[in-house]
Amino acid sequence: METVTTSEQLKQLVKEKYSQIAEQSKDQNESSCCGATCGCATIDYTIMADDYTSLQGYNKDADLGLGCGLPTEHALIKEGDIVVDLGSGAGNDAFVARSIVGEKGKVIGVDFTEKMIEKARINAEKLNYHNVEFRLGDIEKMPLSANVADVVVSNCVLNLVPNKEKAFAETFRILKPGGHFSVSDIVLSGNLPLGLQQSAEMYAGCVSGAIQKNDYLSIIKETGFINIKIQKEKRIVLPDEILTQYLSENDIEEFKNGNAGIFSVTVYAEKPKDCSQPGCC
């Protein structure tokens, strides 16, 4: 079981894992985790994903099954908006957002995995989209000017960022005054077993990188956002074939019967219109 500690190590781990995933289809990602039955150590990256197939703008080639919610469904995106998708992957959420903003709007995807950016750009070219672009960059230091976005969306990505304070501060910076975000992420309630907390593999799969829900919401509030609300929440159930890779049988039973839980939440918040707030101008 691999253990990592520094922010740079965590970032490198995520980049390596998602570079591998970029080479696979959603179907391959769904079948890549066979747990104890075939001795592989790869967790199932699609286990938290929601179904996009009924959404307008959905493109199968861009869906790698990596999300944990449907943030675009709750993001109150309007025609003509400028939308920024953080951790845009192969372009799944960006293309759904583009179907809403239309030709008058614009969608900018940001991802720090070169292979994901390459795949997203190929997908955009196939679709002949001229108002969707993908930029290589770190969410802790985004390649965007201040006050440019009407809406920010993100799907199961911010919990992978080691410095969540920086990530939300950057989100605040790029939003226009009065703009808002809707992000889906993995959060915790109670303490996970040490085996899950310390595993680098589970970190890349969004679980051990998650923090307590109350701490997550506190960071958003302390950044300066207002009107914070949870738009959707669901419990994530990890199957035994995944848990057995990280926990003993006794630990699994304790975890299942305990109060600790893993949740997908979609959180909404607004940047104040009032420029007296920190970071507005």
**Model pLDDT for residues 167-186, shown as the tens digit of each residue:** 999 999 999 999 999 998 88
Overall number of domains in the chain: 1
Residue 275 lies in a domain: no
Q: Are strands 226-236 and 261-270 parallel, antiparallel or unpaired?
A: antiparallel
Cβ proximity of 91 and 62 under 8 Å: yes
What would the pLDDT profile of 43-71 be if each residue is shown by its tens digit?
444 444 455 555 555 455 545 455 565 67
Instruction: Say if 2 falls within a structural domain.
Output: no
Q: What is the pLDDT of residues 95-130, one digit of tens each?
A: 989 999 999 999 999 998 899 899 999 989 998 999
Q: Look up the CATH number of the domain holding residue 214.
A: 3.40.50.150
User: Would you call 134 exposed, middle or buried from its count of C-beta atoms within 10 A (0-12, 13-18, 19+)?
Assistant: buried
Range of the domain at 68: 7-270
- Summarize pLDDT for 242-279 with one digit per residue, the tens: 788 888 888 888 888 888 888 889 999 999 997 555 54
Examine the pLDDT at 236 and tell me if it is beyond 90: no
Neighbours of 58 (CB within 10 A): 15
Give the DSSP H/E element, type plus range, for residue 267: strand 261-270
Residue 115 in tokens: 């292979």
CA gap 61, 116 in Å, rounded:
12
CA distance 67 to 58: 14
280 belongs to a structural domain: no
The confidence score (pLDDT) of residue 3 equals 46
CA distance 250 to 97: 45
Q: Is residue 222 part of a domain?
A: yes
For residue 38, what pLDDT is reported?
A: 29
Is 93 part of a structural domain of the chain? yes
141 backbone dihedrals φ, ψ, rounded to 5° = -155, 85
In whole angstroms, what is the distance from residue 111 CA to residue 10 CA? 15
Which residues neighbour 107 within 8 Å (Cβ) at sequence distance 6 or greater?
Answer: 82, 83, 84, 85, 94, 95, 97, 98, 101, 131, 132, 133
Residue 276 lies in a domain: no
Residue 135 lies in a domain: yes
Task: List the structure tokens of 167.
Answer: 């990530």
- DSSP 3-state helix, strand, coil percentages of the chain (rounded to 5)? 35, 20, 40
Helix (H) or strand (E) run with residue 236 in it = strand 226-236
Q: How confident is the model at residue 161 (pLDDT cuts 50, 70, 90)?
A: confident
pLDDT band at residue 75 using 50, 70 and 90 as cut-offs: very high
Query: CB count, 10 Å around CB of 85?
Result: 32
**Domain for residue 16, yes or no?**
yes
Secondary structure (3-state) at 119: helix
Burial class, 64, CB count within 10 angstroms (exposed 0-12 / middle 13-18 / buried 19+): buried
